[in-house]
Amino acid sequence: MSAASGKRLGKILVQSGVITQDQLDQALAEAGERSLPAALAEFGYADEMKIAQAVADQMGLVFVDLGTYDIDPNAATNLSSELARRYTVLPVKIQDGELVVAMSDPANIFAIDDLRIVTGYEIRPVVAAENDLLAAIEKFSASQQNVGDMVDNLEDSIGAEEEIDEELEDGESDISKLMNLIITEAIRQGAGDIYIEPYEKEMRVRYRIDGVCQEVFKSPKSKHRQLISRLKISSGMDIAERRQPQDGRFGVVLDGKSIDFRVAVLPIVNGEMAVLRLLRKDSIMMSLEDLGFLEQPLERLMDSLSLPYGAILVTGPTGSGKSTTLYAAINKTNDIGTNLITVEDPVEYRLAGLSQVQVHERAGLTFAAALRSILRQDPDTVMIGEIRDKETGTIAIEAALTGHLVLSTLHTNDAPSAITRLTEMGIEPFLTASAITCVLAQRLARRLCKSCKEEYLPEEDALRRVGFPFEPGRIPKLYRAVGCKKCNGIGYKGRMGVHEVMTMSETLERMAVENASTDEVKRQAIAEGMRTLRDDGFAKVLLGQTSIEEILRVVV
């Protein structure tokens, strides 16, 4: 910030009563290379947030807190990083044909004139704290800089120019920049999925972060078709096909980390919807201890994994972390002395040290067909991506009975339901009872943000209504979500597993053979020490790891 700009800003702060004239004179005299807001904050005269709010009030402008503000990447890309740093400004939104620009010094008319010329937009200034602005500028600069380091970069993956739709030729660099920014921001924010959705007059981009969808930005629909075409090219899809669903994948390396993207494009009423699933290779190298297991459920699961035979099933709905748990279990059993083979649809992560088979239904390579061949390869451990039908289930159960350790997933709401589900598929109950050694049901719950979680004393009636365990007259202190800059105002950051581990006993085996109901099996499993999903979740609430509201959201 120039000396003239500092004096102009200082005059506004003195007039608004934020600082005195003496404080301003001292800050200007000793600021050196620092900006006036930074110098005032260092001397303890005023923090940068109050300075920005005072400037906004004095000039009749809007103040924005960039720590919680949803910056539109489409707007941010209108300005180079060099110019953003020079003037300490950042475009945050395009509204009514104007570029809304966050500034620490909105009285700098020279900066506004330059921005108008460079971007071609009329500029609408808003005020933000200087430290927040600098952090936001660095974040978007890093996103753009890292684009050049990507492997299989979207720009590099384009084939011959004649294969590209004519519509891509106009504004191609803008679309490439926008696509790269969407991807790098998703990686930086820890998103699991990216949704690109067309509507009648606009396009929406959302990230699924910690299991919950969050809108990132909206854009004119005119850019949607170009964006989908660019995505199809990079994913190896047919760019001319717009009436059929298509699947593809591509990979990037960002900040030294390898990420694969599994892409699905689906024709809908207003165009084509694209969903990108982010597959982080470092996430599957987690150990079981990293997944949030409490001591007792983990011991039960480890005991079953130590056996050389038997079936271990992981159950839960889609998106509950079943695959991550299976890979963590494989990491426990994968060594040079073990022949380990997997059959998956699709193979999401490629791992060293094991043989992975990709299901191909149209070519006749089904789960069942792959399993039959796998069992002739003399495997010690077999992982089956999912038991979907009687044929696959029967082969898996028989493999577990003939000396193989079988790991697989099943879609059920809890652990006891797995036995009933296999019976409904047509698998003989006596085979199920003999083969299964352990069933793990799980959900993913969001962790409370460590920086802002708040301790509170809940009402006794509220605890009783949800069945939370406590001693009468001794209400436990719990934690709840608040929201801060570190968690983007959500109150949660990261996820952990909530688990229910049922190990088979002679009594449970007999009940399975006798076709006992799920409720009867569940009561017996609880009597034998099984912690239900809700019990496990409430135990983590008591430990301050999550909230009651989050457990009630994910556990039926």
pLDDT 10s digits, 147-163: 444 434 444 443 433 34
271 in helix, strand or coil?
A: strand
**Residue 278's closest CA among 348, 376, 377?**
348
Show the low-confidence residues of the chain (pLDDT under 50).
146-171
- Residue 353 is predicted with a pLDDT of 75
Helix, strand, coil in percent for the chain, rounding step 5: 45, 25, 30
Q: How many CA atoms does the CB half-sphere of 216 hold within 13 Å?
A: 25
**Residue 35's closest CA among 15, 65, 55, 5?**
5
**Residue 311's closest CA among 384, 412, 388?**
384
* The overall pTM is greater than 0.75: no
- Residue 150 is predicted with a pLDDT of 43
Please identify which residue in the block is written with the tokens 């002395």. Answer: 337
- Residue 165 is predicted with a pLDDT of 44
- CA–CA separation, 462 vs 417, rounded Å? 29
- CA–CA separation, 510 vs 526, rounded Å? 16
| Both structure tokens of 143 | 């996103």
- Residue 151 is predicted with a pLDDT of 35
Check: CB of residue 230 under 8 Å from CB of residue 168: yes
Tell me the residue type at 5. S
CA distances from 289 to 73, 325, 495 (A): 37, 10, 14
